[in-house]
Amino acid sequence: PVAKKRSDYRAPDFLIDHVDMAFHLDVTQTRVISTSRFTRNGQHQSPLVLDGENLQLISVTINGEPVTDYHQSDEHLTLNINQNDFELCIETRINPQENKTLEGLYFSGGAYCTQCEAEGFRKITYFLDRPDVLAKYDVTIFADKTRYPHMLSNGNQIDKGELDDGRHWVKWQDPFKKPSYLFALVAGNFDLLTDRFVTQSGRSVALELYVDKGALDKGHHALASLKKAMAWDEQVFGLEYDLDIYMIVAVDFFNMGAMENKGLNVFNSKFVLADAESATDDDFFNIEAVIGHEYFHNWTGNRVTCRDWFQLSLKEGLTVFRDQQFSADMSSPVFNRIKNVQIIREHQFAEDASAMAHPIRPEEVIEMNNFYTVTVYDKGAEVIRMMHTLLGAAGFRQGMDLYFSRFDGQAVTCDDFVQAMQDATQVDLSQFRRWYSQSGTPKVKVTDSFDAKTGVYHIDFTQNTPPTADQKVKQNLHIPFKFELLDEKGNSISDDSVPELSAKMIELTSRVHRITVTGLQAKPTPSLLHDFSAPIKVDYAYSHQQLSNIILYSGDDFARWDASQRLYSRCIHNLAISPDTPDDELLDSMLQAVQGIFDIADVNPALAGAMLSLPSFETLSQQVDEIQVEALYHAQRSVRNLIATTLSDQWSTLYHKQAVVPYRYVADDVDSRRLRNLSLSYLVQAGAPQSSDILLAQFAQADNMTDCLGVLKAAQFGELKQFDQLMEQFETRWRHDPLVLDKWFALHANMERSDILVRLPLLLSHDKFSLDNPNRVRSVLGSFAFYNVLGFHAVDGSGYKFLADYILKLNSVNPQVAARIITPLTQWQKFDEKRRELMRYQLARIADCQDLSKDLIEKVSKSLN
Ligand code: B3K
Ligand code: ZN
């Protein structure tokens, strides 16, 4: 397969302004008849080349006349046409049941549904399947009435009827022009939850949530979240919903989280269904976030869409930023910010360091589905956030307003967005634009010096972006760097003659930036990168004392958390390097800091919960050049153990302080449950007296999944003998509920035990395991490969081989999911030589496979380069 390049963009040769589609649904033989109005775009003689894959072509007519003079290939249908305006009618046949790729039209648990982004519409009919072709759609669906009472598509239902043979039909019309990737169709037998939302201008919108039969009670949280999102977008961005109806359908077989099809979102049921008993606080949180995300796409993605797929971050980075702001406003801003940053540090930094490194606006793509990445999404959101920081909230809003007034109804580029931001505020973003074309994680090295005699303090910021697999030469970036200087009492130093100090922000643009402060009594403590104001790594030689000061005194809660993580990381890396000669002074100051954090728990439980958690193995891995798997893993455990045992009384107090109340998903209770389960896991790890009694009591009494799973995780991590028995009880109780059973599978796959590779095949032969179900595959293979450190990185290579074996099986079933779970293997660069070899060996094995999907070819070939 050949790569497409961003620089090769050309406007389409033809445009389509209207499509009329008829679907005669049948499990193996669905007939699709699409009638499109074309116009030639510009003066040229080029043929009409339509995209299409896996389609059985039945007939073609132009302006009602049958056509036979066309050329069909695996991916295209080419027609020579002289007219400039014409109507093309194409009939095709497709097989939804055989479609295991879950792209195009497929069958999920007895219902038909579609997934067209990025290039799935071409699996439904021959079309100009590219986001810059915007058309209005009329869609008529025919199917058996008893089995498919609900038949949905985008826009408004305008007509319906019944046929004599037991079938019925429904006609939908979408008044908005849209690209084909936003097309959707659903047909099935669902339970329906309805509600209304009245917009700020007084229009009443019908809200409809379709779920599996019997799951109605689990839909209330999703619907409430939707209403919150609708109100929030009006308040914060002045954006109102634009159709009379908003539908959400939950399906069990889905490749990712959800899809923002105009007026008809299709969701992975994981991000819709929740009740106290079966869903955790995290699930409730994620549902609100994903419902928000898809809703916000209605403006950032649907009303203004992408010109081409290289511009994906235009809609995704912006929409992730919007959902992050929404979540922050719904609960604790600092806790949310920490979550965002953890994703960047665990996964995005790893992607930058891997063979798959790419800028947020990629330059070259073989399979677009491979670029729905943490870089495009989450680093993309960080880039938007930096503009928000540079322009201020009001300036950013002006930029957004201008963006919509300029581009509503159009397919545009990332440059168009930045230009709107710049034009609305007159802030020069020319250098800033490099964030779109440059990959990699910038490093800012901070050094300082203080002259006690003169009271003069210099602090230098030096930026540098190391080369990445895709790009050797890097330029200086425009980096908003928030910070403050703390004096010895912990007060923020202000000095009107130093504008960066008053602003608490430096805009780094050149390689080195120096600030000088005079008249100081003592060397200050720089508290750096407040609020993680840029997606970078900061290097500064903090003393232990300075970190403790920041934890106690910084005015930025994020910086306090960050300092706690730095302190833990330092202890862990130190112990990893010299396990036999621990630095007692360092460990003592860390333990003292933790003591202090217990006091924060009363004032700010959300912040304390995050500060009492150690950096993950993935985060720690991105702090070193070469990962020493066992050493790092055991050092992390030892430090955790030290905190658990030394402070076991405090953990016990903290545990018992948390009142047990009937489950509600409200911020205070969520924070309290988090502290309680964190304490439980430290107590169990310390083997504290009565800890297993406490644990068993919690398991027996829990009225909610958060506390129940808290027990299982603590028992698993603490390697308690009761673990297997608890898991059995859990399985018996929940085997009928796929979303809960996924948690059970994931817990098993995550177990750090020496026989894990013997146990995994047992899991995969479980009667409830199926390669066809992406959630299940992710919960077993994904959890293992991403999070089971010792198992996946087993030094004999058995973990790598195990993953590769299943990737090869998945390749022919669902290439998208296969290409996603191969990610840990593509990150071989950071491991020791032996593991690098073993990982590459498995990649080469995959590369050798016949009939490898484009998705895997792209990832494997980059990885072996
Ligand atoms: N836009 C979809 C993602 C589509 C992924 C295609 N492989 C969901 C989202 O980001 O909202
Ligand atoms: Zn999105």
Do 837 and 706 share a structural domain?
no
Interior/surface letters 503-526, b for 16+ CB within 10 angstroms, e for the rest? ebbbebeeeebebebeebeebbbb
- In ligand 1, the atom with minimum distance to the C-alpha of 301 is 1
ipTM of the complex model: 0.99
- Nearest atom (ligand 1) to Cα of 320: 10
Amino acid found at 793: H
Q: Write the pLDDT tens digit of every residue in 372-385.
A: 999 999 999 999 99
Q: Are residues 623 and 679 in the same domain?
A: no
Residue 703: count of CB within 10 angstroms of its CB: 13
- Specify the pLDDT at position 691: 95
How many domains does the structure of the chain reveal? 6
Is residue 536 predicted with pLDDT exceeding 90? yes
Strands 135-144 and 111-115: unpaired
For residues 311 and 355, membership in a common domain is answered with yes
695 with 664, same domain?
Answer: yes
Question: Does any domain span residue 224?
Answer: no
Q: Which atom of ligand 1 is nearest to the CA of 293?
A: 11
Helix axes 380-407, 414-425, angle to 10 degrees: 80
Provide the 10 A C-beta neighbour count for residue 155.
21
User: Is 78:49 a contact under the CB 8 Å cutoff?
Assistant: yes
Same domain for 71 and 177, yes or no, is: yes
- Ligand 1: does its nearest atom lie under 6 Å from the Cβ of 259? yes
Q: What is the percent of the chain with per-residue pLDDT over 90, rounded to a whole number?
A: 99
Question: Domain holding 859: CATH number?
Answer: 1.25.50.10
Q: Which two tokens stand for residue 239?
A: 């954006």
Name the active-site residue from 91, 117, 119, 294: 294
The alpha carbon torsion through 491, 609, 219, 373 (nearest 10 deg) reads: 80
Tell me what the mean pLDDT of segment 237-246 comes to. Answer: 98
Mean pLDDT of all residues in the chain? 98
Report whether residue 256 contacts ligand 1, using a CB cutoff of 6 Å: yes
CA distance 832 to 579: 19
Query: Is the CB of 316 inside a 6 Å radius of any atom of ligand 1?
Result: yes
Strand partners, 187: 112, 151
Q: CB within 8 A of 815, min separation 6: which ones?
A: 101, 853, 854, 855, 856
Pocket lining: 635 vs ligand 1, CB cutoff 6 Å: no
- Do 130 and 40 lie in a common domain? yes
The CA 412 to ligand 1 mean position distance, Å, reads 18
Look up the CATH number of the domain holding residue 401: 1.10.390.10
Pair (662, 577) in one structural domain: no
- The set of residues, in sequence order, having a beta carbon less than 8 Å from that of 406 and lying 6+ positions away, is 416, 420
CA 495 to chain CA mean position, Å: 41
Mean pLDDT value of segment 428-436: 98
Q: Give the residue whose CA is nearest to atom 4 of ligand 1.
A: 117
Q: Is residue 453 domain-shared with residue 476, that is, in the same domain?
A: yes
Co-location of 620 and 654 in the same domain? no
pLDDT at residue 475, as a whole number = 98
User: 695 with 710, same domain?
Assistant: yes
Ligand 1 atom nearest the C-alpha of 260 is 11
CA-117 nearest atom, ligand 1: 6
Pairing relationship of beta strands 150-153 and 156-162 according to DSSP bridges: unpaired
| Collapsed DSSP state (helix, strand, coil) of residue 709 | helix
Sheet holding 537-539, edge to edge: 512-517, 456-464, 443-451, 537-539
- pLDDT at 411 (0 to 100): 99
pLDDT digits (tens, 9 = 90+) for 82-139: 999 999 999 999 999 999 999 999 999 999 999 999 999 999 999 999 999 999 999 9
Is residue 66 assigned to a domain?
Answer: yes
Is 117 near ligand 1, meaning CB less than 6 Å away? yes
Beta bridge partners of 281: none
Of all helices (H) and strands (E), which one includes residue 198? strand 191-198
User: 648: which 2 tokens?
Assistant: 């076991």
Q: Is 841 in the pocket of ligand 1 (CB under 6 A)?
A: no
Range of 851's domain? 735-865
pLDDT band at 682 (very low <50, low <70, confident <90, very high): very high
Contact indicator for 488, 435 with CB cutoff of 8 Å: no
Q: Tell whether 862 is covered by a domain.
A: yes
**Residue 151 domain flag:** yes
**Pocket flag, ligand 1, residue 378 (CB < 6 Å):** no
* Residue 829, pLDDT score: 97
Following DSSP, what letter does each residue of 216-268 receive, concatenated?
GGGGHHHHHHHHHHHHHHHHHH-----SSEEEEEEES--SSSEE--TTEEEEE
Measured in angstroms, how far is the CA atom of residue 116 from the centroid of ligand 1? 9
In angstroms, the CA 638 to CA 685 distance is 10
Looking up tokens 């990832």 gives: 859
| 322 CB within 6 A, ligand 1 | no
**Contact predicate 372/516, CB 8 Å:** no
Choose one of 123, 260, 267, 378 to mutate for the ligand 1 pocket test, by most ligand atoms within 8 angstroms of C-beta: 260
204 CB-contact burial (10 Å; exposed 0-12 / middle 13-18 / buried 19+): exposed
Contacts of 578 (CB under 8 A, 6+ apart): none
Give me the mean pLDDT over the 749-776 stretch.
96
* End residue of a domain, out of 637, 666, 697: 637
Alpha helix stretches (DSSP H) within 798-864: 798-813, 815-821, 823-826, 833-847, 854-864
Which ligand lies nearest to the CA atom of residue 309 in the structure?
Answer: 1
294 catalytic? Reply is yes
Reference 142, options 128, 119, 161; nearest CA is: 161
Q: Find out whether 828 and 863 touch, Cβ atoms under 8 Å.
A: yes
- Pairing verdict, β 245-251 and 204-211: parallel
Quick check: is 204 in a domain? Answer: no
**Residue 642: what pLDDT?**
98
Structure confidence at residue 689 (pLDDT): 85
Distance 260 CA to ligand 2 centre (A): 7
Is 767 inside a domain boundary?
yes
Has residue 620 got a pLDDT over 90? yes
764 Cβ contact list (under 8 Å, min separation 6): 780, 806
DSSP state of 471: B
260 lines ligand 1 (CB under 6 A): yes
Q: Is residue 537 domain-shared with residue 548, that is, in the same domain?
A: no
Indicate the Cα dihedral angle 507, 510, 511, 513, nearest 10°. Answer: -50
**Residue 158 alpha carbon to ligand 1 centre in Å:** 28
User: Is there a single domain that holds both residue 161 and residue 127?
Assistant: yes
Measure 117 CA to ligand 1 centroid, in angstroms: 7
Q: What is the CATH number of the domain that holds 506?
A: 2.60.40.1840
End position of a domain, from candidates 437, 461, 484: 437
What is residue 688's predicted lDDT score, i.e. its pLDDT?
85
Domain boundary residue among 612, 637, 662? 637
Task: Please tell me the distance between residue 836's alpha carbon and the centre of ligand 2 in angstroms.
Answer: 34
Dist. CA 259 → ligand 1 center (Å):
6
What CA–CA distance (Å, rounded) separates 698 from 407?
55
In a domain, 276, yes or no: no
Asked if residue 584 belongs to a domain, the reply is yes
- Rounded to whole angstroms, the Cα distance separating 385 from 366 reads 29
Burial class from Cβ neighbours inside 10 Å (0-12, 13-18, 19+) for residue 700 reads exposed
Higher pLDDT, 350 or 865: 350
